[in-house]
Amino acid sequence: MPNSPDTLSVSWTKSLPCDLSAVRDATVQFCGFLREQGLGTEEIGAWELLCAEAGNNAVQYARPAAAHIPIVLIARVSATEAELQVVDHTAGFEFPENPQLPDDLSEHGRGLFLMRTLSDRVDYLRGRDENRLILGRHRQSTGIPRPAPTAQSAEAAANEALVQSMSEELAACYESLSAIFRFTAEINKGSQDSRFIRHWLDQLRAVCGADWWVLRLADPGTTTLAQFASSRTDLLAPVSLDASQDDSVEAQAALGRQDVWLEPTATLHADDPLRQIGSSLSGLCHPIYVNAVPLGVLSIGCAESAEPFKAGEVSIIHTFADFLGIQIHNAWIQAEQLRSRLVSRDLEIAATIQRSLLPERLPAPAGFRLAGHSASASQVGGDFFDVLELPDEGLLLAIADVMGKGVSAAMFAAIFRSHLRSRPELASTPGAFLTWLNRALFEDLDRVDMFVTAQLVYLNLRRRELRVASAGHCPLLLGGRHEPVRDLGADGPPLGITAEAAWTEQHLLLPEDPRLVMFTDGLIEVRNRTGAFLGLEPVKACLNLAIQNAESADDIRKALQTLVADFQGGQAATDDLTFLIFASDSTALNS
């Protein structure tokens, strides 16, 4: 531009959203404009502080209703002067003629002091809807000297030195804010892995002038803090959260929930893991908590310098650490939710498989009926029953209980059913059938230290013959019109205990108008509110009453369900409940 006529000037205008990061970007562009107009480095440095301070004030004090209205920067540069106007939408304030420097602990007032000190003229025009801050400085490049101070005094010299110190501190703050803006932007993109954390803790180290850092995170299921990442290559020993066992500074920070400062004059305990970095350190250990849940400790500092962190650097450390804590906590929650969804899906599939193992339709031989019931205490269990119709007009009734619950129990129930249906020729000899099933299942059961209790009943309806074999299972209940209910106990060990076991069977005749119940231990071990078991006798009494009333298999099923529900009194079941009923068809008998 022409530099001779003072009346000529070059203008620059920038409209920006009411956002601190936008102020930073606009300040960089403004300084570029000044550089194009030939301003020197020292002048541009002063204008950078003025623009940033004025722009930040316009953002921080914007009225809530006007936060969506852009801030406008207007710059003019002539041969003798540079001017910056900032149009804001704050409530406005009275700009003091001679602002005083606030004390060191004050959060406000330094900006006004800087603006008045670094500017040759300041005007603040307040309006109803907007305000206009006008800052002007004489250009040094014109050869026109800036007005000399009215009094050369020690106070003026001290003020100038203080302004320089404040300028340097403010510039450092802006650099830190810029790092935080980039950090939060990457967090919002979902960056949460270990490489991201290492990168940004290295950035924090550079911003704060530190030369080491260590991040420890809580080890799930334990009371220790393990090293997650570090600026060093060596691995530090874990830290215990038991105050009686660990007096390291990191443990003190975590247990006390407050910063613990590292001072070169204070020697670390001989067992403190941070001694591997240096015997006398400068820095701090900052505990990371989210919703009162301890997540870890960030330790950062210098091994050589004795100068402590400044207040602004401590604030940056807290900001980074707390942001990381929130993201790590959220990542843990998301991982747990994912695991929960996967487990829930697996259980849903296993429950579907388990339901498919139960017969869709029970046989209805002439003069007899069957009824069954199976309910898992959890989403998936190991109980199972089945009924096979045989070519000799017989039936094979089977019931089993796999030790444990969940997917593994359901899997072995499925394997048991598959083996059971693969050898129908063994159905008439249930003892031999259990012996074969044990050999077929033993290797798999032994590998996972599980076992299966099972009971097989072969019914020859034409000869009214009953053959029973049991592998550690609950007793069979049998009664008839003229025979009270009796229980037939187990004759052998569960399947999977020993590979060479062999089972025998009992031979009986069906009583007149028979009622037979096979069940798992969930029936007799159901608990009431006092913790007492239901036991076998109430079940036998229920079955005797059913015989007296000539109840059907389905009636008995409902009666047993009612017996269990009344005894529980609303208590949740703690074990799977399964039973299978064989009974005379009362409809056929009455006809």
pLDDT digits (tens, 9 = 90+) for 181-191: 455 555 555 55
**What spatial distance separates the first Cα and last Cα of the chain, rounded to whole Å?**
118
pLDDT digits (tens, 9 = 90+) for 138-167: 997 544 444 444 554 555 555 555 555 444
Asked if pLDDT for residue 566 goes beyond 50, the answer is yes
Q: How many CB atoms lie within 10 A of CB 573?
A: 17
Amino acid at 437: L
pLDDT digits (tens, 9 = 90+) for 440-466: 999 999 988 899 999 999 999 999 999
pLDDT digits (tens, 9 = 90+) for 301-322: 987 766 778 877 888 888 888 8
**How large is the angle between the packed helices 311-357 and 194-208, nearest 10 degrees?**
170
pLDDT on residue 107: 44
Q: For residues 576 and 4, give the distance between their C-alpha atoms in angstroms, rounded to a whole number.
A: 98
Q: Which long-range contacts (CB under 8 A, 24 or more apart) does 446-451 make?
A: 446/496, 446/499, 448/408, 450/402, 450/403, 450/404, 450/408, 450/409, 450/412, 450/496, 451/403, 451/494, 451/495, 451/496, 451/497
Q: For residues 374 and 378, give the distance between their C-alpha atoms in angstroms, rounded to a whole number.
A: 12
pLDDT band at 207 (very low <50, low <70, confident <90, very high): confident
The residue written with tokens 């015997």 in the block is 279
The mean pLDDT value for 64-68 works out to 85
Q: Are 249 and 260 in contact (CB under 8 A)?
A: yes
pLDDT band at 246 (very low <50, low <70, confident <90, very high): confident
**Tokens found for residue 576:** 């799977």
Candidates 554, 402, 388; CA nearest to 458 is 388
pLDDT on residue 281: 86
pLDDT on residue 264: 81
Q: Note the pTM of the prediction, 2 decimals.
A: 0.50
Q: Are 236 and 202 in contact (CB under 8 A)?
A: no
The mean pLDDT value for 224-238 works out to 86
Asked if pLDDT for residue 168 goes beyond 90, the answer is no
DSSP letters, 1-62, are ---S-TT-EEEEEEEE-S-HHHHHHHHHHHHHHHHHTT--HHHHHHHHHHHHHHHHHHHHTB
The mean pLDDT value for 533-561 works out to 94
pLDDT on residue 1: 39
The mean pLDDT value for 196-217 works out to 84
List CB contacts of 501: < 8 A, sequence separation 6 or more: 435, 438, 492, 493
Of the spans 62-76, 196-210, 401-415, which averages the highest pLDDT? Answer: 62-76
What's phi and psi for 46, nearest 5 deg? -65, -45
The mean pLDDT value for 388-396 works out to 89
Going edge to edge, which strands form the sheet with 577-584?
Answer: 368-375, 577-584, 515-519, 476-480, 483-488
Asked if pLDDT for residue 61 goes beyond 80, the answer is yes
Going edge to edge, which strands form the sheet with 71-78?
Answer: 9-16, 71-78, 81-88, 131-138, 121-126
Amino acid at 470: S
pLDDT band at 376 (very low <50, low <70, confident <90, very high): confident
Q: For residues 180 and 204, give the distance between their C-alpha atoms in angstroms, rounded to a whole number.
A: 9
Q: Are 467 and 507 in contact (CB under 8 A)?
A: yes
Give Cα separations from 385 to 370, 458, 580 (angstroms): 12, 14, 7
Q: For residues 99 and 116, give the distance between their C-alpha atoms in angstroms, rounded to a whole number.
A: 7
Q: Is 411 or 487 the better-scoring residue by pLDDT? A: 487
Q: For residues 71 and 130, give the distance between their C-alpha atoms in angstroms, rounded to a whole number.
A: 10
pLDDT digits (tens, 9 = 90+) for 16-54: 998 887 888 898 899 999 999 989 888 888 898 889 888
